[in-house]
Amino acid sequence: MIQGPCKNHPGRTGRRRCFSCGAFICATCQIRGAHHYFCSPGCQLKFQLGEFGSDALELLQTLLPSFQLDKKKAVLGKMLLGALLTLFVLPLLALIFVIYLNFRMQGRIELIEANLKNAVASAKQPSIPTATAHAGRLSITHPVHGALLRTKHATFEGEADSNVVISLTRNNKILGATVPKAGRFIFPALELNKGENQLEVSALNAAGAVVGFVKIKLYYHPLAAPDFNRGDRNLRQIALTFDGGSNDNSASPILEILKQQRLRATIFLTGGFIRKFPDVTREIVAQGHEVGNHLWSHLHLTSFAMNYQHRTLPEVTREFLHEELNKTAAVFEEVTGQPMAQLWRSPYGEHNEEIRQWAAELGYRHIGWTVGRSTDESMDTMDWVSDTTSSAYRSANEILQRLLRIADGNGEAANGGIVLMHLGSQRRGDEAYQMLPQLIHELRAKQYEIVTVSQLLD
CATH number of the structural domain spanning residue 209: 2.60.40.10
126: in domain: yes
Shortest CA distance to 161 belongs to which of 141, 176, 181, 188? Answer: 181
**Alpha carbon distances (Å) from 107 to 44, 104, 110, 112, 449:** 19, 5, 8, 10, 49
Last residue of a domain, one of 166, 190, 220: 220
What's residue 55's pLDDT? 54
CB 179 within 8 A of CB 158: no
Same-domain pairing of 198 and 249: no
Measured CA to CA, the distance from residue 20 to residue 18 in angstroms comes to: 5
70: in domain: no
Last residue of a domain, one of 195, 220, 245: 220
- Give me the amino acid identity at 3: Q
Same-domain pairing of 167 and 241: no
CB 204 within 8 A of CB 164: yes
Question: Residue 392 CB: number of other CB atoms within 10 A?
Answer: 10
DSSP-derived secondary structure letter, 39? S
Q: How far is CA 254 from the centre of its chain?
A: 31
Measured CA to CA, the distance from residue 116 to residue 93 in angstroms comes to: 11
Last residue of a domain, one of 186, 220, 254: 220
66: in domain: no
Q: What does R_g of the chain's alpha carbons equal in angstroms?
A: 30
Same-domain pairing of 203 and 350: no
Measured CA to CA, the distance from residue 261 to residue 279 in angstroms comes to: 22
Domain of 20?
Answer: 1-32
Q: Exposed (0-12), middle (13-18) or buried (19+): which is 235, by Cβ within 10 Å? A: middle
CB 127 within 8 A of CB 202: no
Measured CA to CA, the distance from residue 165 to residue 211 in angstroms comes to: 10
The SS3 of residue 213 is strand
**Alpha carbon distances (Å) from 245 to 281, 294, 433:** 12, 8, 16
Backbone angles phi, psi at 248, to 5 degrees: -125, 20
53: in domain: no
Same-domain pairing of 269 and 411: yes
CB 373 within 8 A of CB 412: no
Same-domain pairing of 215 and 241: no
Same-domain pairing of 205 and 270: no
Measured CA to CA, the distance from residue 259 to residue 243 in angstroms comes to: 18
Same-domain pairing of 324 and 183: no
79: in domain: no
Same-domain pairing of 216 and 291: no
Number of compact structural domains in the chain: 3
How do strand 365-367 and strand 210-220 relate by DSSP bridges? unpaired
Measured CA to CA, the distance from residue 443 to residue 408 in angstroms comes to: 10
pLDDT in tens, the chain (458 residues): 577 888 877 777 777 888 888 888 887 777 777 677 778 777 776 676 565 555 555 555 555 555 455 555 555 555 555 555 555 555 555 555 545 544 443 444 344 344 444 443 443 333 323 323 334 589 998 888 888 888 888 898 999 988 899 999 988 788 889 999 999 999 988 898 888 889 999 998 888 788 889 999 888 877 768 899 999 999 999 999 999 998 999 999 999 999 999 999 999 999 999 999 999 999 999 999 999 999 999 999 999 999 999 999 999 999 999 999 999 999 999 999 999 999 999 999 999 999 999 999 998 999 999 997 777 789 999 999 999 999 999 999 999 999 999 999 765 679 999 999 999 998 988 999 999 999 999 999 999 999 999 999 98
Same-domain pairing of 231 and 184: no
Same-domain pairing of 296 and 440: yes
What's residue 48's pLDDT? 64
The CATH number for 348's domain is 3.20.20.370
Measured CA to CA, the distance from residue 275 to residue 89 in angstroms comes to: 58
13: in domain: yes
**Alpha carbon distances (Å) from 346 to 244, 266, 282, 330, 381:** 12, 14, 22, 18, 17
The SS3 of residue 264 is coil
440-446: long-range contacts at Cβ-Cβ below 8 A with a sequence spacing of 24 or more? 440/257, 440/261, 440/263, 442/404, 442/407, 443/238, 443/407, 446/236, 446/407, 446/408
**Alpha carbon distances (Å) from 215 to 303, 337, 342, 428:** 39, 21, 16, 50
In DSSP notation, 118-183 reads HHHHH-S-----PPPSS---EEEEESPTT-EESSSEEEEEEEE-TTSEEEEEETTEEEEEE--BTT
Q: Exposed (0-12), middle (13-18) or buried (19+): which is 131, by Cβ within 10 Å? A: middle
HSE (side-chain half, CA atoms, 13 Å) at 188: 3
Same-domain pairing of 139 and 279: no
46: in domain: no
Q: Exposed (0-12), middle (13-18) or buried (19+): which is 321, by Cβ within 10 Å? A: buried
Composition of the chain by helix, strand, coil, percent to 5: 35, 25, 40
100: in domain: no
Same-domain pairing of 366 and 240: yes
In DSSP notation, 285-307 reads HHTT-EEEE--SS----BSHHHH
In this prediction the pTM is 0.63
- Give me the amino acid identity at 15: R
